[in-house]
């Protein structure tokens, strides 16, 4: 029974791996390397945490074909990126340009981190002041006794 389950799992893994491969007819190794480098700079619009190169989503396969066709048409990498950003916005780029529309994308995490650090610092100060203002009576009495000595 375990052998059957193992064989089934291996068969499913092999079919999933084959489904992600979409071979393209590159004319030489340089074109393939250019394609790989370009698709690593582009974000999958479905997966969002994977590059276009790594994604197995059907939309990613379509976009890879579009990129390949653009390359074959003689377009530069910058022209291909401009075409994709015109259709899908700067979100398609893993390294979007710094503009007013991408300001929060670049600096939003730092702003959130700064706001959180400020909130923690204010909370710690407030608690320290409250603890100093409300000193337990037993400590006050012992400090009075020490003053008599």
What does the buried/exposed string (b/e) look like for 130-148 if buried means 16 or more CB atoms within 10 Å of the residue's CB?
eeeeeeeeeeeeeeeeeee
The values of phi and psi at residue 23, to 5°, are -65, 140
Q: Which helix (H) or strand (E) holds 119?
A: helix 103-133
Question: What span, in angstroms and rounded, lies between the C-alpha atoms of 64 and 56?
Answer: 11
Q: pLDDT at residue 139 above 70?
A: no
pLDDT, position 145: 53
Q: What is the maximum span of the chain, computed from C-alpha positions, in angstroms?
A: 96
The DSSP line for 40-83 is HSBB-TTTSSSBTTT---HHHHHHHHHHHHHHHTT--HHHHHHH
Q: pLDDT at residue 6 above 80?
A: no
Q: pLDDT at residue 147 above 60?
A: no
pLDDT in tens, 72-110: 999 999 999 999 999 988 888 887 777 777 778 778 889
Q: Domain residues of the chain, as ranges?
A: 9-97, 98-149
CATH class of 9-97: mainly alpha
| Range of lowest pLDDT (3-12, 25-34, 35-44) | 3-12
Quote the mean pLDDT of the chain: 81
Contact between 55 and 67 (Cβ < 8 Å): no
């Amino acid at each position: 029974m375990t052998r059957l389950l193992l064989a089934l799992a291996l068969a499913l893994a092999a079919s999933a791996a084959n489904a992600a491969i979409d071979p393209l007819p590159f004319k030489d190794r340089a074109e393939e390397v250019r394609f790989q480098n370009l698709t690593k700079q582009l974000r999958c619009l479905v997966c969002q945490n994977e590059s276009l190169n790594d994604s197995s989503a059907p939309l990613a396969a379509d976009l890879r074909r579009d990129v390949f066709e653009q390359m074959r048409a003689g377009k530069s990498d910058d022209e291909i990126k401009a075409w994709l950003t015109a259709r899908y916005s700067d979100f398609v780029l893993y390294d979007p340009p710094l503009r007013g529309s991408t300001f929060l994308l670049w600096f939003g995490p730092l702003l959130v981190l700064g706001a959180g650090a400020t909130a923690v610092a204010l909370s710690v100060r407030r608690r320290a002041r409250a603890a100093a203002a409300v000193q337990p009576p037993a400590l006050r009495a012992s400090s009075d006794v020490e003053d008599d000595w």
